[in-house]
Structure 1
């Protein structure tokens, strides 16, 4: 009987010791869980503040870009108008030169297609422009200039 009592006592003390160890581990686990929740909350707050700052920066950048874009768009329109007027004047000058070139007196012989094409090429006209001005095909003008070049 004494033997059973000692075994019962040892089992009881072991059970109490195991409950104590289990309780300490559980309390550590709860404290770690609380720490992780706190860290998670801080991380979420940090990320949300970062996202908010990023959003504000993007809005400021968009406003700045829209004002710059509006200014550039206005200045681009002015540049296009100036370029168009320059191109128009240049084209008008070339057209007058072309008319003078293609006109001939009654006493002089009319220029051949090759001579006209050569003159237009010397004035800087492209093959397409020459073909259009002379009413010929692009390939015809290319071949004419290429074969008569030598």
Structure 2
């Protein structure tokens, strides 16, 4: 009987030591995974910070170029025969500020519109379809869902629609899913 209890005690001690070792290894893996996660978070934060800094520098450079171009345009002397009419004495500075803000907005707007334009296709049939689907006048402009729906009826798949409209594939899928759920 004592031998049986001794063997049982030894077996339970071995099992408990084995369980302790397993728990220790799991704990180490969890701690290691947490450290890796924290490292990745720090790296991502550094990448975003660097990206934001780079974007800020590019924006500052762009603003400097626009201001330099504006001063070069406004710095040119007026024609000798021109006469100021009905302008109050302090209006030049205010007008220049308004014009410069409008100029910066116009330049930025053109740049954004140019970036948003889809690339020109080589196939004339597709260009004809594009003109039909996306008219230039604001009155004839259709909603994004209607454009997607028309392209889908023509036979375009989700990826082709995304390329045509210059938006993400996931956006197209979500748009179709939401509108199919509403109907």
TM-score bracket, shorter-length normalisation: 0.3 to 0.5
Which structure has the larger Rg?
1
| TM-score scaled by length of structure 2 | 0.38
| TM-score scaled by length of structure 1 | 0.46
Question: Relative to total residues, which structure has the larger helix share, 1 or 2?
Answer: 1
